[in-house]
Amino acid sequence: MPLPERIVLVGPMGAGKSTIGRLLARELGYRFIDSDRLIEERCGANIPWIFDVEGESGFRTRESNILEELSHETGAVIATGGGAVMREENHACLRRGALIVYLKTSVDQQFERTRRDRNRPLLQQEDPRAVLQDLFDRRNPIYSRLADIVMMTDKKSPRLVVRQLLNRI
Ligand code: S3P
């Protein structure tokens, strides 16, 4: 089977999309693109600043524009932000010619991996675990519906996840 022209990683904060995406891209000889980092580069500001100044909806608009642009990339592994699936209009961009991989992760594991992080505005709340649970409940069905491959990442090293993915691509 020929390789897909683009592999798009979806899943929650703390799923390991960036780490796994970078390793997977290296294995495939693809470029790695992180949509959040690209948004920050283009804007010249970090995500907390964008949320602060433009609100979540401003960030989502920037995200939709970047996803549209990235849907024309070939030979790339793309890590998306956890909320990239929330706008229905993004789905066609995410799907276009791509293999979509959902990196599925328990809320406990998401919490462990994000608890010291200050770059995720949605988690700067009193009870970030409850936020992660709520987001999981709302988003898990959407990630699952969009995905061609669902891969659990709990208690696995990024290398093991990549090896398992390479067997399924
Ligand atoms: C978000 C996830 C973040 C980033 C933004 C919003 C979300 O990306 O896009 O903070 O809505 O889940 P990561 O999933 O890469 O942390």
Write the pLDDT tens digit of every residue in 8-48: 999 999 999 999 999 999 999 999 999 999 999 999 999 99
Q: Residue 140 in contact with residue 92, Cβ under 8 Å? A: no
- ipTM exceeding the 0.90 mark: yes
Look up residue 111 and give its two tokens.
């919490």
142 lines ligand 1 (CB under 6 A): no
Model confidence band, residue 2 (pLDDT cutoffs 50, 70, 90): confident
Q: Is pTM beyond 0.95 here?
A: yes
pLDDT of residue 98: 97
> 106 and 83 in contact (C-beta within 8 Å)?
no
The model's pLDDT over 93-146, given as tens digits with 9 standing for 90+, comes to 999 999 999 999 999 999 999 998 889 999 999 999 999 999 999 999 999 999
What SS3 state is found at 26? helix
Ligand 1 in contact with 83 (CB < 6 A)?
yes
| 6-168, CATH topology level | Rossmann fold (3.40.50)
